[in-house]
Structure 1
Amino acid sequence: MDLPKDPMMLYSVVNTKLRDYYSSLEAMCEDMNLSQQELEETLRAAGFEYNKELNKFI
């Protein structure tokens, strides 16, 4: 599955996947062949930071 380019849609899709399917961002990125650094940078630019304890971007 290709992730959306729009930052708000990306935020929503990533958090849904983290909630429903993955125990961590690392596991999701590894499973989906994504660059964790690029994903975090993209969402950080939109004002979101990954919270490891909550396993979601806030």
Structure 2
Amino acid sequence: MKLPEEPMMLYSFINMKLRDFYPSLDALCEDMNVEREEIIRKLKTVGFEYNPGRNRFW
């Protein structure tokens, strides 16, 4: 599946997937065959960081 390119859309998409379907960012990345570091890098450019305890970006 192709991820949204625009960072705010990516933020919303990833958090929805984490909330509804995946127990961790690692599980999401493995299942969707996407690079964890790419997601982290893109979302960091707009000020979001992954919080594993809450399993979401904020």
TM-score range, shorter chain: over 0.9
**What is the TM-score of this pair, normalised by structure 2?**
0.96
Q: How does 1:9-48 map to 2 (within 5 A)?
A: 9-48=9-48
Q: What is the count of residue pairs matched by the alignment? A: 58
Paired position in structure 1 for 2:49: 49
Aligned-pair Cα RMSD in Å: 0.6
What secondary structure is seen at the aligned counterpart in 2 of 1:11? helix
Deviation at 1:51, TM superposition (A): 0.2
Three-state SS of the structure 1 residue aligned to 2:5 is coil
Normalising to structure 1: TM-score of the pair?
Answer: 0.96
* Structure 1 moving runs of 4+ over 6 Å: none
Give the percent of matched residue pairs that are identical in Structure 1 and Structure 2: 55
Q: What's the CA shift for 1:3?
A: 1.1
Gaps of 5+ in 1: none
